[in-house]
């Protein structure tokens, strides 16, 4: 059976809004994402809603041992 290489790329865009939510702690917040064994963390933002993460997180996974049936 022929072997093939496949690549999966996931691009994540996030915007968080929480109407009516009050955060008592005024510490900065960040977004952490773990996908396909890879970890990405955003820059810290002030804890003010809506949280607008203006970052692009790209997760790429290459599989070399895939067998095509």
For range 56-60, the mean pLDDT: 79
**Residue 39: its pLDDT value, please?**
92
3-state secondary structure of 2: coil
The reply to whether 68 falls in a domain is: no
**Residue 48: its pLDDT value, please?**
78
For range 57-67, the mean pLDDT: 73
The reply to whether 56 falls in a domain is: yes
Q: How far is CA 18 from the centre of its chain?
A: 19
The reply to whether 8 falls in a domain is: yes
**Residue 12: its pLDDT value, please?**
74
The reply to whether 26 falls in a domain is: yes
The reply to whether 69 falls in a domain is: no
The reply to whether 7 falls in a domain is: yes
**1-40 confidence digits (pLDDT tens):** 556 667 777 777 777 777 777 777 778 888 898 888 889 8
Fill in the DSSP letter of residue 49: S
- Residue 65, by phi and psi: left (phi above 0), alpha (psi -120 to 50) or beta? alpha
Number of domains observed in the structure of the chain: 1
């Amino acid at each position: 059976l022929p072997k093939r290489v496949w690549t999966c790329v996931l691009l994540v865009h996030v915007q968080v809004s929480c109407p009516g939510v009050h955060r008592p702690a005024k510490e900065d917040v960040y977004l952490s994402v773990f996908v396909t064994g890879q970890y990405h963390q955003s820059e810290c933002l002030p804890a003010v809603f809506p949280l607008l993460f203006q970052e692009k997180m790209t997760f790429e996974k290459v599989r070399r041992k895939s067998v095509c049936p």
